[in-house]
Amino acid sequence: MDKLADYYAKRATEYERFYDKPERQADLALLRNRLATMFAGRKLLELACGTGYWTEIVAPAAKRVTALDVNEEVLALARSKALPAGRVAFLRADAHALPASLRGYEALFAGFWWSHVPLARLDGFLDGCMRAVGPGAMLAFLDGRYVEGSSTPLSRHDEEGNTYQQRKLDDGSTHEVLKNYPQESELIRRASRFGWGAHVELLPYHWLLSFWSPR
C-alpha cells in the first residue's frame, strides 16, 4: 500500500470531520445541490469515493452509481450509508488502474482526488478516465482551494512542482500528504486536452471542474 493509501486507511473514521468546518458550509450546500443536478438520470462512475460522503448525495438522483476506492477501510464506511437500494455498487480498485470492465459510463466524478494526483501522472489519470466513459459523457472533479487559516499549511515543494502537507491523526501519527492546488487556467488546459467545454466554477473554498468527452 502506498503512503497516500495508508494515510487514508488510517484516517477513515476521522475523514468526514473535514466537512464540518463552519466556514465551508455555504460552499458545500451549493455543491451538494449542483452535483445532484449534474448527475441526475446518468450512469455514474465515482473514483476515490472514500467514505461515501458524495456517493450518498448523488446516488438518489443518478440512474446507477459504481463507486470505487483502493481502501477497504473507507469502503466499509461507504457501504453503511443510507443509499437507494440496488442503485449503488462499490468496488475496490485503483483510480490509476481502472479495470477494463468499467466502460461506457455516462458521467464520471471524483471529489478531492485531483489534488492528490502527482503532476506527472495527471495526463495518464485523465486518459484512464476517458476510456471509462462513453461519447458525450460528463466528467466532473471537485477539490479544495488553498485558503490561509482554513487549509493545512504547505510544508514543501518538490522538483516537479508538487506541494505537500504534514497532517496529524488522532493516534498521534504524522503523515506527509501530496496536496496540489491548481490554478483555474491549469485545470482548463488539462481538461481541454481530453474533452471539450471545460468550465471551472470557483467558490471561496472549493473549485468544480466539468467538461464533456468527445462525441
We report the CATH number of the domain holding residue 89 as 3.40.50.150
Residue 138: phi, psi to the nearest 5? -95, 135
pLDDT in tens, the chain (215 residues): 588 888 888 888 888 998 999 999 999 999 999 999 999 999 999 999 999 999 999 999 999 999 999 999 999 999 999 999 999 999 999 999 999 999 999 999 999 999 999 999 999 999 999 999 999 999 999 999 999 999 999 999 999 999 999 999 999 999 999 999 999 999 999 999 999 999 999 999 999 999 999 99
The pLDDT of residue 134 = 97
Is residue 173 domain-resident? no
Residue whose cell numbers read 488510517: 10
Is residue 154 domain-resident? no
Amino acid at site 126: L
List Cβ neighbours of 174 (8 Å cut-off, separation of 6 or more): 166, 167, 168
Amino acid at site 133: V
The pLDDT of residue 1 = 53
The cell numbers describing 189, all together, are: 488546459
Tally the domains of the chain: 1
For strands 206-212 and 196-202, give the pairing: antiparallel
Q: List the domain range (segments joined by +) for residue 105.
A: 3-148+183-212
Is residue 11 domain-resident? yes
Residues 165 and 70: their CA atoms lie apart, in Å, by 21
Is residue 168 domain-resident? no
Is residue 167 domain-resident? no
List Cβ neighbours of 7 (8 Å cut-off, separation of 6 or more): 167, 175, 177
Is residue 169 domain-resident? no
Is residue 159 domain-resident? no
Is residue 158 domain-resident? no
